[in-house]
Structure 1
Amino acid sequence: MSGAAESLPEYPLQRAAECPLAPAPAVQELRAAKPITKVRIWNGSTPWLVTRHADQRTLLTDPRVSDDDLDPGFPYVNAHRAEIAPVTPRLITNTDAPEHTRLRRTVNGPFVVKRIEKARPAIQKIVDDLIDTMLDGPNPVDLLTALALPVPSLVIAELLGVPYKDHDFFQSSSSLVLDSTAPPEKAREVSGALSAYLDNLLGEKMTDPGEDVLSEMGGRVKAGEMTRTEAVHMGVAMLIAGHETTATMISLGTLALLQHPDQLAVVRETEDPKVIANAVDEVLRYLSIVQTGVRRVVKEDIEIGGVVIRAGEGIIFDLHAANWDPEAFPEADRLDVRRPARTHQAFGYGPHQCLGQNLARLELQVVYGTLYRRIPTLRLAAGIEELEFDHTGTTYGVHSLPVAW
């Protein structure tokens, strides 16, 4: 192995302990000096790392950039993902057009803005009820367990048609599947249990359908529009993604706003839903919690930024680096909830952009627009240096967030 290869940065890069909400200093240095460069990942392979906002937008919409995780050059997040790729059904998370287009069409309906917006009153009630319980309970409290985890878990359970009484099972299972340090055999066991659980539930929905996404997918299975295996694995993916990321954004977003009281005041005191919506997008930009990057592989040679990425080489898109790119967002290191931030890439970009982004935005709008108004004296009950941050999962967050009022 050459000295040059040995000296490549190890990805993911490490954040600075004194600035836990900022991107890793090294990734910001790379964006300025080598915006398209090679890095080393867990298995010794050396994919390209893309850090500029504009370059990411160009490549994530290029049909030569593929989501095919069966390609030998695909830069897997961890050993578990590499191991299960050959036996994972083709889904919206690992296919390209036209197959991706077909699959996306089968599940896109419940997540369009008009349908998601109808859930606002129900989500508002969930949030209000949980805050009522918080106010009647102990003070201080862990916001993660009191609000951040229950909100998206209740919402995705209702949307999918999954009994909320099983939330402990799917929360713990999801966390383990996403944990980069988990033994592959344990992750495989848990993935199998989740799939079996959803398969059984899907079977029930196909016999006795309700007004939920699993029932809708069950209907598509019966109509021959998708296979049962596709529906099960799509349900597992939605269940995992539907609560993990939003829970993290509720807790970490609250931390970010508490660290910026002037910005928190804007959110707390406004009655304009557009201001809240914009604040949500700015917090999404500022935190960009997906810390393992978006992973792709190149099917044909691509020249960009003076670099040639060869067919078969992997690419990692560091979303946080792009969302702190000063060319896209002047003074990007400053949290400014009035900033026009909708062009952020916290949900990715292009045809594989996050399916559940409209739902996530709605949940965050309700939480941010309610929590700080109802508990105006909310504050951290510990120093930020005392918080334990999670570096092991797909998303970056805190293990607990003690708050008081």
Structure 2
Amino acid sequence: MNSEFLEALRDLEKEKGIAVDVLLEAIEAALLSAYKRNFGSLQNARVHIDRDTGDYKVYSQRAVVEEVEDDRVEISLEDARKIDPRFNLEDVVEDEVTPRNFGRIAAQTAKQVVVQRIREAERNIIFEEFSNREGDILTGIVQRIENKNVFIELGKTEAILTPSEQIPNEDYRHGDRLKTYIVEVRKTTKGPQILVSRTHPGLLKRLFELEVPELQEGVVELKSIAREAGYRSKIAVYSKDENIDPVGACVGPKGMRVQNIVTELNGEKIDIIKWNQDPSKYVASSLSPAKVVAVEVWEDEKVARVIVPDYQLSLAIGKEGQNARLAAKLTGWKIDIKSESQMTDIYPEYDAEENDGFSTDDNYLETFEDEYKHVDSSEEKNGE
């Protein structure tokens, strides 16, 4: 090692951000380990690299004691003062013991340490970069597929899209460009592991924020998201400015904004509704595209009974209860959907033509628990 070696380390400091002193300290520790391993020394030793010239030296170390028990690691006070009269008890005497053929070992060790530290630094840089982006969207290229895991190239590293985070029936091929949501960044011995998702509600939220300037500016708020990836999603939006239509802003001119998101998600249907502070209006809107005749709410229990025309009942419930299930997730309310004819059977006093309100049966909630099967209100609301 020489001054050229030190210059190379300074260049690395500028390029990789690894301090020269940190590298030299690591090299000194590695050289000491190599010295003990190759020369079988049991004595205490120290390796020093000159910060100006790059020259290295190995020193044995012996503690100054009154009575010597092991002359490999100890020296008497009398002998120490023969070397230098200033030595006292508990001082350390150093003698240079650099082996003649230590140069080749030193060069090889230094190279290994530098390469290892460069790898560690690059891994730390990548980890810091992506850990700060958790909850954000990134675009990558499908590199390979192993055991149903999709590996996505991100330049200096790659992300993993596990089967549980893949959209059902979505086909991934080598070279495909994908937008994914960063769920978690883990630090491992092999470097940072970036876990991404195509099913997370956050992906839908970020896609809308990219497409809708009003969301980025804060003029429109995205209040809630309910998503069944690959099939259907619902989002609730709101604006404090009465002159702005939050639903129209998200749909975009000729539906272009929402259509771009639908295309990115391979045809996933998206219902955009206007959030309302009034629970009855909010619940009614959440069942879109079904038309609601009337809503009765029990705010303490967060339960709503919704009346729809007979011909709208199947639309309100949706295929396999999907529309009702998503509405419940979106609003956080338990929703019971009844047709007008069903209401007439249950409550003969109910008049479909005067449906702006109806009496509350105190025993209804008990009956409701037995009859209602469509939505489980314990399901957590997504997208906040």
Q: TM-score, normalization: structure 1?
A: 0.21
Higher relative contact order (CA 8 A, sep 6+): 1
Q: Which structure's residues are more often helix, by fraction?
A: 1
Give TM-score scaled by structure 2 length. Answer: 0.22
